[in-house]
Structure 1
Amino acid sequence: MRLHRLELSAFGPYPRREVVDFDALGADGLFLLHGDTGAGKTTLLDAVAFALFGRVPGARETLKAGELRCRLADPDTPTEVALELTVQGHRLRISRSPEYERPKKRGEGTTKQQAKASLTWLSVPGGGTPPDGATRVDEVARTVQRLLGMSAEQFFQVVLLPQGEFARFLRADTTQREQVLERLFGTERFLDVEKWFEERRRERNRELQARQRSALELAARVAQAAGEERPEEPDVPWLDDLVARTGEAAERAATDERAARADLAAVEAELTARAELAERVRRVRQASDELAALAARRGELVAWEAERDAAHRALPVLTARRGLLRANDALDSARADVERATERARALGWDGAEDPRGAAARARERAGELSGLVAEAERQRVDERRLAELAELVDRERTRVARLAELAADLPARVERARAELDRARAAAASLDGLLTRRAELTAALRDARALPAARERAERAARRAQEAVDAHQEARDRLQDLRERRLDGMAAELAAHLADGAPCPVCGAVDHPRPASPPEAMVTEADERRARDEEQRAQAVRERARREEHEASAEADALVERLAGRTADDIASELSIVDEECAAATALAETVERGEADLRALDDDSRQVRDQRVEAERALGAAEAQHRELTETVRQRAERLDRAREGHADVAERRDHLVALAEALDVLVEARSTLDSARRRVAEHERAVEEAVTAAGFPDVDAALAAARSEEEVADLAERVRAAQDREAAARDVLAQPELAGVDPDQVVDVAGARERADLARERCEAAVTAAASAAGRARDVAELAGRLRAAWADLAPAQAEYAELAALTDVVNGRGQNHRKISLRSYVLAARLEEVAVAATTRLQRMSQGRYSFVHADGAGPRGTRGGLGLDVLDDYSGQVRPARTLSGGESFLASLALALGLADVVAAETGGAVLDTLFVDEGFGTLDAGALDLVMDTLDELRAGGRVVGLVSHVEELRQRIPVRLRVRKARTGSTLELSTA
């Protein structure tokens, strides 16, 4: 995959259309992307990612779609990113626009601009006709995924190399490293296999435990049925012994039951015979006693019979007398009703001379004539109330019309004032963003102006220190050269000092040394030269560090001078003071926009409402006045008719009610007189009936009949006493006449209690034996049945236990436990193989960048305290020959290792996914931790990448890279937004 051209507008900090020509940038194979902090360097990489996948990498992925739009862009400028690239021989152009809010073309407010995407084919392999493009977001996404052969996460990891993430990956523990590798290599299916084994084991374990619980429950039920405690580990011998013992106990209980039943039968036969004899004696004795008692009370029985018969003869006399008493009560009540009715009629105006029937008819006739006028009187009262309401309504409507007229005259001026205030507030709000941006720029400029003197002073000090370091280094080099020359001059003496007789000379090989050289007075040794060399190297390191500090201090001062553009701190402070005042004023006005808009809308609504309410009030006033005039005349005419009809009463209804009441009172009087005549006739009839009843009952007079009378309860009691005595006598004689009682002595004594005691004891013994036999037999049956079920459960349990043991062991191995001594799960094993490939690929570059000192070592052993292993990554230090943890590397060494790891991982992921060849890479930051020598080695590695045809883009603030890389893309920021500048010098 090679990038050719990137176009973006209103995206991130870029308000206008900007173009990045990657063909021009990548002509040399290596280019630098640099600029001030926050200018928008990383945004260019985000734009590439957004064009391809519709999202941005890293922490910025959480940004909402609308937040990708530049806030400084013109409202009419669309937010869009277009990328032209070649992948797998296809050249295509991808354009995307995020979803964001834009101003409406008509009216106020905003509307949502929907997300869009399009893919256009520019050329295809072989020069054929390009296919039709795509305009749907999902279709573009599928096409990009198919051509690149990798997901967005993999692309962000292997094309936009994030150094910070790989430094964390280098030092991460097994779990964190596993998450990164799993995201890149897509090993979720192996995790699914691990989960499948775990779930299968849990399922089989649940089934096995259920079977084991069922077997234990059966064993507990067997023990419970036998009345014993279940052993901790029930087995077959225990079960066989339990079944045998319960069967023997059942047989013994059955034998005891049969013997108890025989004893009970003999004792019960004796008890029955004695009980029957005792019963015959009791019956004879009871009947004899009853006859003797009745004979003693014979006179009392005769008196009861005479009293009962007299009471029966007095009943008709009592009935006739009660009728006479009721008739007299009715006569008295009728006389009282006539008196009350007469008083009521006279009180209502009847003089007593006229017949009450005729007077009632005439009163009712006059009341009927007044019925129509009563309805008119009610209507008159309603209309009078309505007339008062209409008068009040007329007054209210007149007041309302006057008030609305005053409001209508005042509203236009208020609307005009509110509109003018709103226009001023909107203008202030529109200018606020520019003022705030200008204030931020002036604040930064003032800070730069105040920092400039100190920066210049630091630059001067750094220059002096650099010059001093150069001089010191030159002096050290001179001393080293002098010592080397002096050592060479005295080298013969140094060699001669090690000669021995008979030993060959290391120069000529002779074993004789006739004239060995003598050492000079101030001989230079190897140790002297080594110390001088170390001092020269330390001086060189100090010189290089001083030069870097001088360059950094000078660059800082130059950058401040460039940004200030000749302005002084006083000039900037004065301008900032003015802008602060303008910002405060604009902010205060801008805060009133929403309130002003609401006030203006409210005034417009008030104007419409006042206008509508005034028209409605004038219409209502005219209608109310017309109704008031018409109703006034109607009420006057009706009042004259009603005054004539009421004849001294309060109103017509009262006069009508008086006539109706008089007619009703006269009707009651007529009815009361008729009832009095009937009551007198009934009293005479009942007096004759009483005299006839006394004569018929045989009593001399009424008083005698009343003396013989008894109540119904008393008569019934007398009859019951007579009948009960007769029934007792008959029953006693019937008992003595029964054949089985003939010859029974009523005074005979029979011992039934002793026989009953013996029978109760025998019955208790028999019931206990029956219960014991039934219980033993049931226990034997239950134990035998449950024992069979338990034996079957044990037989089914054995193969299930063997199957679960095998599955559990295999699951432990797959998940890095049990017999898996390396503690590596299946997923970690696959990831470990990928990590080993990454380590091999990364080691090649790391050895080159570290001059052969460091190599990556993949460790697959278990972690500390038995944690899972397989994803360890250490480094081999060739200087010491020891493997050391990656976290012990220095900052610069960590950067070298992280870069090598990132490049190696990019190669492995690209090969693993089978995707497109990655001809364009971006490396983001991290170079500031390297010294000059390490930076040279890194640049050599990057040169190898571009020598292979790749284009490498570096994103960095390091000033030295500007001197090393001629092709640069600079991002400049300003208060109006960021811009791009391409330079090749």
Structure 2
Amino acid sequence: MKPISLTIEAFGPYRDSVTLDFSALQNHSMFLISGPTGAGKTSILDAMVYALYGEPSGEVRKIDAIRSDFAEPERMTRVDFSFAIGEAQYRVERLPKQLVAKKRGTGMREQNASATVYEMKDGEWKVIATSAAAIRDTVQRIIGFRKDQFLQVVLLPQGEFRKLLVASTSEREELLHTLFRTELYRKLQEALKASYDDAKAGIEANLTKQAALIQSIPHDEDTIVLTAQHVRELLANREPYRDGLVVKRDEAVAEVEQFNALRKEWAVYNQAQQSLTEAASKLDLVKAREGERSSLREKVQFLTSLTPTYELYKQFSDKQSALKTLETALSDTKKGVEIASQQESKCTEAHEVLASQAETIQANRTTLAQLQQQSEKFDELALLNKELTTLKSNLETQDREKSDAELQIQHKLVADLEFALVEARKQFQANSKDLEGIPRIQEQLSQLQRYSELLGQKQKLQHDIDGKDRSLAAIDESVKNSKVQLERLEHLMAEGRAFELVHLVVDNEPCPVCGSTEHPQLASKPELYPTKEEIEAARAVRDEAIQKQASEIGQKKTLVIRLHELDEEVKEQVSKLTSLIDGFSEDSFDSIQQDLLSQMEQLTALRSDTEQLSKTIATNEDKLSGAKETLAKLEMAHKELLESLHDLEIQLSSVQAKIDALSKILPTTDLDVWRKQIESLETEINAYDEQVEVCERNLEAAREQLNAKRGRLETLSAQVQEETNNLDIIYKEYIKSLQSISLCEDDFIETLGDYNALDTFRTELHALDEDFNKAQAVYDAALKVAESIVEPSATVSDEVYDAAVERRDALVGNLAAWEKETKHIETTLASLEELDVAMGEARNEVEFLSRLNDLANGGEQGFKNVTFERYVLGAILDEVVYAANLRLQKMSRSRYSLERSDYTGGGRGKQGLDLAVMDAFTGQSRPANTLSGGETFLASMALALGLADVIQSYAGGIHMDTMFIDEGFGTLDPDTLELAMETLVQLQSSGRLIGMISHVPELKTRIPAHLEVTRGDDGSTAKFVIN
């Protein structure tokens, strides 16, 4: 990440908008952020971290305290940060949750926090994230760090730069994992473990399957079946049993087949006899209906002979019905002619009445035309009357007295506002003079607060040192006890080993240990014989206690050094306060602070009143300006009112004259009367015209209907006469047909019912004939079959047959069950053999994967608690340590170097990424947290720079183009500071941008590029300066 620009407003000590353009550094890759204490140097770094992560950089600074106390209520706190990652450019704009002045009315309103991330595309900023979750993920993806990681490798905050140096293996692993993208190795670990788990689960599943297969094999209780070989033996022992079953089954099957053949002969014979009996019975039943069949045949023949006569009778009946229909229609038509004739007469009479009124209606038409010719005059009169009413209304609404009163009131308002504005400006000048003392009191209070904080830190530090003393006493006792325990166990082990050699000692022969031929006192068996593991455990307890003791001593030393530093800082602060506050002493601290707070409270209230007064002045100025504008408008409106009144009076006289002239021309000036006359005449004429039209239409329709009815009457009369003649002819032919068959008409009518059922009679006769022929044919065939079959000579009882079938079925079932069991056993045997082969291969695979998984995931076969990824990160950390030591050894004059702990430590915690410091003066390694403040700063800076070097050397890694260091140089002696500066100066050739905050004077002369922060009475400002 490389910063491009930073804009902050109402942020920390910065009231106004401050923009820092990092291109102003030109070719300088190192710059110093300088300025007085409390001016806002760290706030610049806070703004960058806040823009990226929504929180300040330090742990003690809170998000709700970043708004500037100098900012006006209407000014919004905001940060706008642009930076580059490689060739890509990004921008983050963020506003915190804050109280700001309402845009309308008075009071404050709460403004919610907001943020937006942009990316430069095609020369424009494009929004890529706005929600809180999306911004967090986007920034972490772009930068490559979380906030805590960013503060370990990019920005080293004041008092917190040692985090990376003293981090645990877990914390350092997470950071290196993020920096060097080692997900591949972690995925490989997980893949190996998953493969091992899957292979192991596969073996367990195969074992379960093998047990289930063996359990499914049927066998006697005395037979052991555990392996595939046992199953093969079981199959071989089953063959003799099968051979006996086959012989018995074949004999039973042959016996049943013999019985089936005999029973089939009897079945054929009995079936033939039964068929003959049934056929004879059916034939007898059919012959019993022979009389009924003959009678039905005669009836059908008789009715068939009546068919010609029936056809004539049907024609006569149809013609008779048609004639009756025509006669009815003729009667109805005659009545319709009479009605149509009456309607035609009525319409003719109504038409004559309307014709008699035609002259009166024509006179009305003439009168209506005359009235309509006066329409334009009446329209003109209506317009003039309307204009007259409007003019009178306008004249009434012009209130001259009201205009005079408004003008007088506005003059008074302007005078009052001018007087109030003069008084407010006098008061504002007086308040502003009193407020000039605020920065001085603020500085005094800030230094008093710093003094109080130093005393508190000193008290807490002394308490921590006392706690360390108590802790060291307990640890010393623990070291002493652990040493005594280890010595006791080692002594017991020596005695035990001596006792083990007793059996090798022979009288008058050299001892295998000391060589003496005399053995006056042989070793006895000790009561307790510790194991090697117990000795190692005791030694580990002792080493851990000693290491803890060394750690505590180092920590106490650091605390004591810090206490001495605080003493010096307190003395400096007392000196500063003595020169800043008259009469200051340590005893008068509380009273002076209380007095200053009281003064500050009064001035704060006065500042609030002054700010309100300033707003009041601005408001009154706006009101005065508006009042003057209103007054000018009212004077102009008053003048226009007088002119308008004169114009209206002239227009009113002109319109009245026109109305008087029209009144003389028109017969009446009442427009409603004129309109009612026209409406009455129009209604009467329209009603007459409609009656004439309807009457003529009805008369024409009546005449058309009368003519149609008369034509229909003539047609029906002719049809009735024709049908009557045709009916006489058919009736004569019908009577003649009856005579030909010797039947009177009444007898013929009685036969009509049977004739209509002739088809039914024919169907019944046909069915009787079919039944007779079929029954005779069936009987003849059954007789022929029965005569051809001979009765069998032997019989088989049902009991004998059923017993034979049962015996055969049982034998067939037993053989089938045996074959099914055998097939199942053979299939199971094949599965077991496949499983044996598969499990042999799987065991080899599990053993291989177990070793790989153990090695990759920090098991017993590899480096315990050191995973493959951690091993790779360890190699990377070695490179980081090597790069860091190139600078640390130079800055510490070859005394200190970092080293990575080996993998041989005990315990269950994660291992492999722990760091220690090798002290060349003692020749021993010790924990990094035992270094002094200055030594810790050098080691932390060297580690951060080494990490940046290694990150840059890895292709595709995170961009480490920038580093910020907040304080820390003040803990170095002049010689060490010189070495540190030489190291930093050498970095300029790498193109990496380094920003530092420090009060050390030497740095100001050594570094030409400065970001100067200046403190003012109304807030701080900042700008780049190149010396």
TM-score, normalised via structure 2 length: 0.51
Contact 1:446-1:569 at 8 Å conserved across structures: no
CA displacement 1:464-520 (0-9 Å, x = unmatched): xx9xxxxxxxxxxxxxxxxxxxxxxxxxxxxxxxxxxxxxxxxxxxxxxxxxxxxxx
Residue of 843, 851, 862 corresponding to 1:820: 862
Residue of 973, 979, 985 corresponding to 2:1021: 979
1:105-124 correspondence to structure 2 within 5 Å: none
Residue of 788, 793, 811 corresponding to 2:853: 811
**Residue of structure 2 in register with 1:477 after alignment:** none
SS of structure 2 residue aligned to 1:979: strand
Q: Residues 41 and 340 from structure 1, CA distance in 2 versus in 1: closer, same or farther, beyond 3 angstroms?
A: same
SS of structure 2 residue aligned to 1:972: strand
One-letter code of the match for 1:905? L
Residue of 842, 855, 858 corresponding to 2:901: 858
User: What is the CA–CA distance in structure 1 between the aligned matches of 2:738 and 2:803, rounded to whole Å?
Assistant: 75
Q: Residues 809 and 543 from structure 1, CA distance in 2 versus in 1: closer, same or farther, beyond 3 angstroms?
A: closer
**Residue of structure 2 in register with 1:703 after alignment:** 747
**Residue of structure 1 in register with 2:910 after alignment:** 868
One-letter code of the match for 1:727? N
Q: Residues 572 and 769 from structure 1, CA distance in 2 versus in 1: closer, same or farther, beyond 3 angstroms?
A: closer
Contact 1:260-1:766 at 8 Å conserved across structures: yes
Contact 1:290-1:728 at 8 Å conserved across structures: no
**Residue of structure 2 in register with 1:342 after alignment:** 334
**Residue of structure 2 in register with 1:485 after alignment:** none
User: What is the CA–CA distance in structure 2 between the aligned matches of 1:228 and 1:201, rounded to whole Å?
Assistant: 44
One-letter code of the match for 1:577? D
Question: Which consecutive unaligned segments of at least 5 residues does structure 2 have?
Answer: 58-65, 95-115, 126-141, 349-378, 388-392, 394-430, 459-560, 585-591, 623-680, 955-959, 987-993
1:600-611 correspondence to structure 2 within 5 Å: none
Q: Residues 672 and 768 from structure 1, CA distance in 2 versus in 1: closer, same or farther, beyond 3 angstroms?
A: farther
2:25 counterpart of 1:34: no
**Residue of structure 1 in register with 2:232 after alignment:** 240
2:951 counterpart of 1:908: no
Deviation at 1:689, TM superposition (A): 4.5
Deviation at 1:551, TM superposition (A): 3.7
SS of structure 2 residue aligned to 1:868: coil
Contact 2:39-2:1013 at 8 Å conserved across structures: no
**Residue of structure 2 in register with 1:384 after alignment:** none
Deviation at 1:974, TM superposition (A): 4.9
Q: Residues 24 and 743 from structure 1, CA distance in 2 versus in 1: closer, same or farther, beyond 3 angstroms?
A: closer
1:188-587 correspondence to structure 2 within 5 Å: 188-189=181-182, 191-196=183-188, 198-199=190-191, 202=194, 235-241=227-233, 243-244=235-236, 254-290=246-282, 299-349=291-341, 449=441, 544=568, 547-551=571-575, 553-554=577-578, 573-583=605-615
**Residue of structure 1 in register with 2:761 after alignment:** 715
2:872 counterpart of 1:830: yes
SS of structure 2 residue aligned to 1:650: helix
Deviation at 1:22, TM superposition (A): 11
SS of structure 2 residue aligned to 1:870: coil
User: What is the CA–CA distance in structure 2 between the aligned matches of 1:454 and 1:99, rounded to whole Å?
Assistant: 32
User: What is the CA–CA distance in structure 1 between the aligned matches of 2:275 and 2:1018, rounded to whole Å?
Assistant: 134
SS of structure 1 residue aligned to 2:965: strand
User: What is the CA–CA distance in structure 2 between the aligned matches of 1:670 and 1:661, rounded to whole Å?
Assistant: 15
User: What is the CA–CA distance in structure 1 between the aligned matches of 2:769 and 2:39, rounded to whole Å?
Assistant: 128
**Residue of structure 2 in register with 1:176 after alignment:** 171
Q: Residues 538 and 856 from structure 1, CA distance in 2 versus in 1: closer, same or farther, beyond 3 angstroms?
A: closer
**Residue of structure 1 in register with 2:978 after alignment:** 943
Q: Residues 546 and 728 from structure 1, CA distance in 2 versus in 1: closer, same or farther, beyond 3 angstroms?
A: closer
Contact 2:152-2:161 at 8 Å conserved across structures: no
2:780 counterpart of 1:727: no
CA displacement 1:511-542 (0-9 Å, x = unmatched): xxxxxxxxxxxxxxxxxxxxxxxxxx999999
Q: Residues 455 and 913 from structure 1, CA distance in 2 versus in 1: closer, same or farther, beyond 3 angstroms?
A: closer
1:603-642 correspondence to structure 2 within 5 Å: none
Q: Residues 207 and 692 from structure 1, CA distance in 2 versus in 1: closer, same or farther, beyond 3 angstroms?
A: farther
Q: Residues 232 and 977 from structure 1, CA distance in 2 versus in 1: closer, same or farther, beyond 3 angstroms?
A: farther
Q: Residues 953 and 97 from structure 1, CA distance in 2 versus in 1: closer, same or farther, beyond 3 angstroms?
A: closer
Deviation at 1:807, TM superposition (A): 2.8
User: What is the CA–CA distance in structure 2 between the aligned matches of 1:22 and 1:980, rounded to whole Å?
Assistant: 13
Contact 2:82-2:92 at 8 Å conserved across structures: no
Deviation at 1:346, TM superposition (A): 3.4
Q: Residues 733 and 694 from structure 1, CA distance in 2 versus in 1: closer, same or farther, beyond 3 angstroms?
A: farther
Q: Residues 228 and 577 from structure 1, CA distance in 2 versus in 1: closer, same or farther, beyond 3 angstroms?
A: farther
**Residue of structure 1 in register with 2:678 after alignment:** none
Task: Judge which range, 818-827 or 710-719, deviates more.
Answer: 710-719
Deviation at 1:812, TM superposition (A): 2.7
User: What is the CA–CA distance in structure 2 between the aligned matches of 1:320 and 1:342, rounded to whole Å?
Assistant: 34
Q: Residues 219 and 232 from structure 1, CA distance in 2 versus in 1: closer, same or farther, beyond 3 angstroms?
A: farther
User: What is the CA–CA distance in structure 2 between the aligned matches of 1:280 and 1:539, rounded to whole Å?
Assistant: 133
**Residue of structure 2 in register with 1:106 after alignment:** none
Deviation at 1:899, TM superposition (A): 1.8
One-letter code of the match for 1:267? F
Contact 1:642-1:652 at 8 Å conserved across structures: no
Question: Which consecutive unaligned segments of at least 5 residues does structure 1 have?
Answer: 62-66, 84-93, 102-111, 119-134, 138-149, 354-362, 364-393, 407-438, 467-536, 591-635, 928-934
Q: Residues 872 and 341 from structure 1, CA distance in 2 versus in 1: closer, same or farther, beyond 3 angstroms?
A: farther
SS of structure 2 residue aligned to 1:179: helix
User: What is the CA–CA distance in structure 1 between the aligned matches of 2:83 and 2:771, rounded to whole Å?
Assistant: 130
SS of structure 2 residue aligned to 1:817: coil
Contact 2:242-2:818 at 8 Å conserved across structures: yes
User: What is the CA–CA distance in structure 2 between the aligned matches of 1:46 and 1:307, rounded to whole Å?
Assistant: 127
Deviation at 1:806, TM superposition (A): 0.8
Contact 1:310-1:709 at 8 Å conserved across structures: no
CA displacement 1:806-829 (0-9 Å, x = unmatched): 134213312223522521012212
Deviation at 1:447, TM superposition (A): 9.2
Contact 1:694-1:705 at 8 Å conserved across structures: no
SS of structure 1 residue aligned to 2:35: strand
User: What is the CA–CA distance in structure 2 between the aligned matches of 1:97 and 1:289, rounded to whole Å?
Assistant: 113
Contact 1:324-1:687 at 8 Å conserved across structures: yes
**Residue of structure 1 in register with 2:531 after alignment:** none
Contact 2:319-2:723 at 8 Å conserved across structures: yes
Q: Residues 223 and 328 from structure 1, CA distance in 2 versus in 1: closer, same or farther, beyond 3 angstroms?
A: farther
User: What is the CA–CA distance in structure 1 between the aligned matches of 2:268 and 2:23, rounded to whole Å?
Assistant: 133
Deviation at 1:720, TM superposition (A): 4.4
Task: Judge which range, 447-456 or 712-721, deviates more.
Answer: 447-456
Deviation at 1:448, TM superposition (A): 7.0
**% identical equivalent positions:** 16
1:663-812 correspondence to structure 2 within 5 Å: 665=709, 668-669=712-713, 672-673=716-717, 675-704=719-748, 706-707=750-751, 709-710=753-754, 711-712=757-758, 714-716=760-762, 718-720=764-766, 722-723=768-769, 726-727=772-773, 730-731=776-777, 734-735=780-781, 738-742=783-787, 759=801, 762=804, 766=808, 770=812, 773=815, 776-777=818-819, 780=822, 784=826, 787-788=829-830, 791-792=833-834, 794-812=836-854
User: What is the CA–CA distance in structure 1 between the aligned matches of 2:313 and 2:737, rounded to whole Å?
Assistant: 9
User: What is the CA–CA distance in structure 2 between the aligned matches of 1:720 and 1:752, rounded to whole Å?
Assistant: 48
Deviation at 1:278, TM superposition (A): 2.0
